[in-house]
Structure 1
C-alpha cells in the first residue's frame, strides 16, 4: 500500500512539473549582421540608387521568448531559468495582452517590424537629405485572416471605396463606412503598380474585420528591401538606419569592426528603449560583437550586466549612433563616447 502511495505521489509531482504555467522566459537570440545574409538571403538590398561596398558588421540583436501565445513553459523550465543569469522570467501578461492568439501576436510583431523598417529607411534618408513621400500602408496581414491572399504587407493604400484620405484614421473611417458583410473595394500600389481589389471580411467578435494592420509608411525614390525571415518587432530600427546609411555612403561605416546594437527609431531620429537588453547583450557577445550601442533609456538595465568582452556605448538619437560608429571606425575605441555609467550617474 505504501509503495502504491509513493508511486501515486511521484506521478502527481511529475504531472505538476509538466503542467503549463503563466510565465514566459526570455533568452538570448541570435545577433544578425544586417549587412550580410540570413537564411541564405541577403538582408539589405537597395536598388534604384548608387550603393557602395562596405565591410565589418552591423548586428541587430534579438530575444527568443518561450511561453508566448500558443506555446507553454513548465515549472521545471521556469525554475531552471531563475538560476540562469542569461534568462529572464516574466509573468505572461507583462509581455502579451490577455487572450491574444498566436496569429494576432504574429501580426502585431510583423507589423511592428514592417513599420520599423520603413521608419529606419526614412531616418537614414533624412540624414542624407533625400526626399520621399508619406503614405498609409498595409503593415501586416494576419495568417488565416480574411484578407490573406488578397492584400500583402507593404501595399500602399491609394483609395477605399473610391475615396482617399490623408492618414490612418481617415482610411479607417472609409473602411467602416462599407456595409457589414460586403467586400471592401480598395486600390493599392504594389511594386509600383496600382491594383484594384475586393477585400473580403470576416466577423470577429461581432465586427467585420479584414485581419490587417494599417500604418504610416513612406514611398522612397529607391527600392529598399530588408529581409529577416519571421523575426518581428521594432527594436532593430536604429541598426537598420545605420545599415541603410552605410550602403548609401562611400566607405565602411564600421571601419571593419563588429558592432551590435538595439533600439527603436522615431521619425525625428530618437532612439527608444526596448525589452530584453540583457539577453541581447549576451547574444551579441556570444556572436562575436566587439561593441554594443544601447538606448540611453535602457542604461539602468545595462549597468552591472554587460558582458566583460563587450564595450557598450549609450545613444539617444540616430546622430549619437552614427557618431559612435564613426568614432569606433576611426579609433578602434569607445574612449570619449558616453557609457551607461555616465548616463545613470547622478
Structure 2
C-alpha cells in the first residue's frame, strides 16, 4: 500500500513539475531577451536606380530582442549561455518613455540613417546631394535629465556645441560620444527667441552608460534631393546602427568598381553626414550573427572594437572611424 501511495505521489509530483515547466514557457516577465539577430544581405534590401551587380555582399547585422518568459529567466540564470542575456524592460527605456514611443523614435532614426547613408554614398561617388531640415524638435523633457527646467516641449534645437543640427540623428551622434558629466552647449529657438543652455550629460535611469540630456526628439521639416532613386526594403528593422553598411551598399552600387571582391562583408555603425561612423549597442551579438552567416570580414566602429574582438575568433575585424576608412581598406585589397 505504501508503495502505491509513493507511486501516486511521485506521479503527481512529476505532473506538477511538467505543468510548471510548460507554464514557464508562456508566463511573461518584465525582462527582454537579447540574442544574435539577423545578418542579412543588403543587395535585396537596397535598390539603386541603374545599379550594377556585385560579386560579393555587404551585410547588415542586428540584435534580436523579445519579451522574456519565466523559462528564459531560469535558463539564462542557471546555464548562463554566452549568446543570450536578460535585460529589464525598465533598464532599456528612459524614465517617461514607453515601448511604443521608443520604437517610434527608433523607426524615425532608421529613416534618417537611410537619408544620411544616401547623402554620404552619393557624395563619395561624386554626386551633388542636398539634405536640409529646420532643426531638432523637443517632443518631451524627461524629469531625470539635465534638460529638465531648461528645455521645453516644442523647443527647436538648432545647434549643439556650435555645430548646426538638422536631423535628430545629428543631435544623438553629437551627444552620445561625450563623457558623462561633460557640458554641452544647446542652442534652441523658442517662439521668436534664440536661447543657449550649458547642460551636463547624465546617465538616465533606463539608459546606463550612455550620455544624455534627457529629451525625446524628432526631426522637423526634413527635405532631401538625391540624384537617383533609392528604394529600401527594411521592414521590421529599426534604429540607426546600419548606417555605415547602408552607405557602403549604396556606394558600391553607384561606382564602377566592386569593392566586395566576392567577399561576405558584414558590419555595423551609425553614419553622420560628415562620414564619421559612430558606436552602437549590442556589438557582441552582431559579431555572433556575422559569424553564423559565414562573413569574411566584420566592420566595427573603433569604440566597439575591444568588445567585438572578444567574440570574433576566426572572423577578421576592421575597426573604423569614417566611411573613408572602409572604402580605402577595401580598395587596397582589390589592388
TM-score, scaled relative to structure 2: 0.65
Give the equivalent residue in structure 2 for 1:29: 37
Are residues 1:282 and 2:288 paired?
yes
Give the equivalent residue in structure 2 for 1:135: 132
Matched-pair contact (CA < 8 Å) for 2:46–2:233? yes
- Distance in 1 between residues matched to 2:262 and 2:223, nearest whole Å: 32
Consecutive unaligned residues of structure 1, counting only runs of 5 or more, are 38-42, 68-72, 140-165, 175-211, 331-346
- Distance in 2 between residues matched to 1:22 and 1:267, nearest whole Å: 38
User: Partner of 1:322: helix, strand, or coil?
Assistant: helix
Give the equivalent residue in structure 2 for 1:60: 60
Cα–Cα, structure 1 residues 172 and 26, in superposed 2: closer, same or farther, change >3 Å? farther
- Distance in 1 between residues matched to 2:277 and 2:249, nearest whole Å: 15
Give the equivalent residue in structure 1 for 2:86: 89
> 1:101 offset after TM fit, Å?
4.0
- Distance in 2 between residues matched to 1:294 and 1:328, nearest whole Å: 18
Give the equivalent residue in structure 2 for 1:320: 325
- Distance in 2 between residues matched to 1:172 and 1:284, nearest whole Å: 46
- Count of residue pairs the alignment pairs up: 253
User: Partner of 1:51: helix, strand, or coil?
Assistant: coil
Q: CA RMSD in A?
A: 3.5
Cα–Cα, structure 1 residues 75 and 313, in superposed 2: closer, same or farther, change >3 Å? same
> 1:118 offset after TM fit, Å?
0.4
Q: Which residues of 2 match residues 1-346 of structure 1 at below 5 A? A: 19-35=27-43, 37=44, 43-47=45-49, 50-67=50-67, 73-82=68-77, 83-98=80-95, 100-136=97-133, 213-215=218-220, 216-308=222-314, 310-330=315-335
- Distance in 1 between residues matched to 2:58 and 2:15, nearest whole Å: 55
- Distance in 2 between residues matched to 1:261 and 1:254, nearest whole Å: 13
User: Partner of 2:29: helix, strand, or coil?
Assistant: coil
- Distance in 2 between residues matched to 1:44 and 1:29, nearest whole Å: 19
> 1:53 offset after TM fit, Å?
3.1
91-100 or 260-269, larger mean C-alpha shift: 91-100
> 1:132 offset after TM fit, Å?
1.8
- Distance in 2 between residues matched to 1:313 and 1:84, nearest whole Å: 27
Cα–Cα, structure 1 residues 256 and 78, in superposed 2: closer, same or farther, change >3 Å? same
Matched-pair contact (CA < 8 Å) for 2:271–2:278? yes
User: Partner of 2:280: helix, strand, or coil?
Assistant: coil
- Distance in 1 between residues matched to 2:257 and 2:25, nearest whole Å: 55
> 1:306 offset after TM fit, Å?
1.2
- Distance in 2 between residues matched to 1:75 and 1:328, nearest whole Å: 49
Cα–Cα, structure 1 residues 253 and 86, in superposed 2: closer, same or farther, change >3 Å? same
Consecutive unaligned residues of structure 2, counting only runs of 5 or more, are 1-5, 137-164, 168-186, 193-216
- Distance in 1 between residues matched to 2:107 and 2:41, nearest whole Å: 19
TM-score, scaled relative to structure 1: 0.63
- Distance in 1 between residues matched to 2:15 and 2:81, nearest whole Å: 31
Provide Cα deviations, 1:264-299, integer angstroms capped at 9, x if missing partner.
011111111111111111111111211101111001
User: Partner of 1:21: helix, strand, or coil?
Assistant: strand
Give the equivalent residue in structure 2 for 1:204: none
- Distance in 2 between residues matched to 1:281 and 1:322, nearest whole Å: 21
